Amino acid sequence: MSGTGPKAAAVPARPLEPAKAGALRVTEHYACVEGEGATLGALTYLIRLSGCDLRCWWCDSKFSSFREDEAREVLPAELEAAALASGAGWASFTGGEPTWRGAAELKALAGLARRLRGRGLKIKVESNGRRLPKALAGCVDLWSIAPKFDGRLGRATEAMRWEPETLAQLARRPAGGLQWKFVATFDKGQPRPGDLAWAAGLLAALPKAGQRHPVFFIPEAYAAGDYLARVKALESAVAALAVGALQGWDLRVQPQWHRVLHGDERRR
């Protein structure tokens, strides 16, 4: 599948609020085995929220992030019952962008997270790190933060820019409460050097406490080329960072395990 695709529409000025009171805008939800990051292999109930404030050309969930082809309004009680019935130990809120919600939807999301935690599930939020809503404070066990950089342009676009203090606040979380995730895009079979240099610069500017958290480098998913060959090329590039700009950091290279096992098959 091509990573370019049709030109994305402009980002709306603000996220849509569900018309149904107390509902969440959801593309899909299902039980799966986590395919990446520190919870790799964990039985997880994934809740994919619709809508994102970015339009990344390499996004592997355009159907949810900015086309929102399958968005529907779901009451949290339905999601709670399904997550509890799945037997999963984790609930993962992904997207789209889970933090790009209006106030009412954020309140509904936080309430669902608190109830699931009260029933013994751990909560993970996958986010681009551009905001840290107060509504979610104390509701999340693991923030998975993936700041964005456009390797084709050689810069972060205006929409991708983050508040340094927001990332610094995340970096101060206790060990086990945060993971960094960077997607490396590729050109002619090699990771774009600008992607890795940018990631190194972002991390180096964070408080020293940020080094307690693992940093995952994952190859771009949707592009031509052999996926495992990309993982090997990324391994070499990240090894150079480990003895250079990011010496002392917990650097990790991962494929998306669900992609290795199931390719582009949905709901995996």
What's the pLDDT tens digit per position in 115-152? 999 999 999 999 999 999 999 999 999 999 999 999 99
Query: What would the 3-class secondary structure string for 93-162 be?
Result: EECCCCCCCCHHHHHHHHHHHHHHHHCCCEEEEEECCCCCCHHHCCCCCEEEECCCCECCCCECCHHHCC
As a whole number of angstroms, the distance between CA 122 and CA 133 comes to 18
Span between the terminal Cα atoms of the chain, in Å: 17
| pLDDT, mean of each 10-residue run, the chain (268 residues) | 47 84 96 95 97 91 85 97 98 96 97 98 97 95 96 91 92 95 94 96 91 95 83 96 95 88 71
Q: Which CATH superfamily is domain 24-262 in?
A: Aldolase class I (3.20.20.70)
Single-letter amino acid code for the residue at 114: R
**Residue 96 CB contacts under 8 Å (≥ 6 apart), including other chains:** 27, 48, 49, 50, 51, 52, 61, 64, 65, 68
As a whole number of angstroms, the distance between CA 188 and CA 31 comes to 36
For residues 59 and 65, the answer to whether their CB atoms sit within 8 Å is: yes
At 123 the pLDDT is 98
What's the pLDDT tens digit per position in 249-266? 999 999 988 777 777 777
As a whole number of angstroms, the distance between CA 83 and CA 46 comes to 8
Longest dimension (CA), the chain: 53
At 268 the pLDDT is 63
Q: Show me where the domains of the chain are located.
A: 24-262
